Amino acid sequence: MIAFIAGRAAFIIEPMAEKLRPILRVVTGNDAQGRSRVLFDGAAPNANPGAVSASAAMTEPGIADGMKVDVEGNVYRTGPGGIHVIDPKGKLLGRIRIPDQCTNMAWGDADWRSLYITTYTSVFRTRVNVPGVPVW
């Protein structure tokens, strides 16, 4: 899905975000060139589909690229310095620091509490407290 702001394509939202829209109030998009995150309340009855409710410029090396969601609605997003964990209200909860530029990630293991993180040169695995949303 491509969002248009001021007549220009602004970001691409992963197809998974649309599938999760009924259960999540926050839809996220990445502006990889501007290295910012964009969140808006996509499920609110009077929501403006392109309204930005939270945005943050990122100053460290790296780009916003891959996204995943856990069962509590927290968004895990690749970005400068590692994986940014953002709650459903758009608050940055913290970062999982990775020593290389992250490219994507995937939930794994039987309990969906392992996060496999890819970079240009490596694959990292970390355990998290909240399980990820299964992809099937």
Which regions of the chain are under pLDDT 70? 1-63, 136
Instruction: State residue 27's pLDDT score.
Output: 52
Q: What would the pLDDT profile of 70-104 be if each residue is shown by its tens digit?
A: 888 888 888 888 998 888 777 888 999 999 888 89
Instruction: State residue 126's pLDDT score.
Output: 97
Distance separating alpha carbons of residues 61 and 59, to the nearest angstrom: 7
CATH of 2-127, picked from 3.90.105.10, 1.10.340.70, 2.120.10.30, 3.30.559.30, is: 2.120.10.30
Identify the sign of the CA torsion 19, 23, 29, 35. negative
Instruction: State residue 39's pLDDT score.
Output: 54
> Where along the chain do its domains lie?
2-127
Instruction: State residue 46's pLDDT score.
Output: 45
